[in-house]
């Protein structure tokens, strides 16, 4: 009588386990492999984006200290032109420029032109309703007949609070 070896028992138990739990084992293996592959794909995409950014952005030339110190050492020896002006207060300045006779004459001529062209109707006059002399303008309270009611229209005089809520 031969006793089965430890290895053969281990193999037979492993085969039994896989036959009972094969769905779960395969799911775990697929998820693990998929996670590893997804991680590698994301890392590769990040590296590709870094390379693309490096290609698309121009690298400015390296500037040395001597380059930018030259800008401060170069002086413009031309003397600025100094313009002397009178000191005038603000009120005098405004009055001098806004009360000239030429401006007043121009403003008066524009106003007279507008007054003379009164026969041309403005947009507001065109859009406003016309007042007819034949039309009755006064409305008396006796002439008002309530035709609309609030809430549901029912034949009965009884109404509830919900009737009014429906119109809101």
pTM of model > 0.85: no
Length of the chain: 168
Q: Render each residue's pLDDT in the chain as its tens digit; 168 residues.
A: 577 789 999 999 999 998 999 999 999 999 999 999 999 999 999 999 999 998 888 877 788 888 778 777 766 666 777 788 777 766 666 666 665 666 667 767 766 776 666 666 667 777 777 766 555 556 666 666 666 555 555 555 565 655 555 544
Q: Smallest Cα–Cα separation from 65: which of 73, 57, 56, 76?
A: 73
* Rounded distance between C-alpha atoms, residue 151 and residue 123, angstroms: 40
CB 150 within 8 A of CB 164: yes
Half-sphere exposure of 103 (CA within 13 A, CB side): 6
């Amino acid at each position: 009588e031969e006793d089965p070896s430890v290895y053969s028992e281990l193999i037979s138990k492993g085969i039994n386990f896989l036959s009972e739990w094969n769905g779960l084992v395969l799911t775990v293996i697929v998820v693990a492999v998929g996670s590893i592959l997804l991680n590698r794909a994301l890392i590769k995409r990040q590296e590709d984006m870094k390379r693309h950014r490096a290609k698309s952005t121009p690298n400015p030339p390296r500037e040395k200290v001597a380059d930018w110190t030259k800008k401060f050492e170069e002086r413009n020896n031309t003397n600025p032109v100094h313009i002397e002006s009178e000191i005038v207060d603000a009120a005098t300045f405004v009055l001098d420029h806004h009360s000239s006779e030429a401006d007043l004459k121009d403003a008066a001529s524009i106003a007279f032109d507008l007054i003379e062209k009164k026969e041309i109707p403005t947009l507001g006059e065109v859009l406003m309703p016309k007042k007819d002399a034949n039309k009755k303008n006064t409305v008396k309270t006796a002439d008002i007949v309530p035709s609309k009611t609030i809430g549901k229209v029912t034949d009965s005089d009884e109404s509830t609070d919900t009737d009014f809520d429906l119109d809101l």
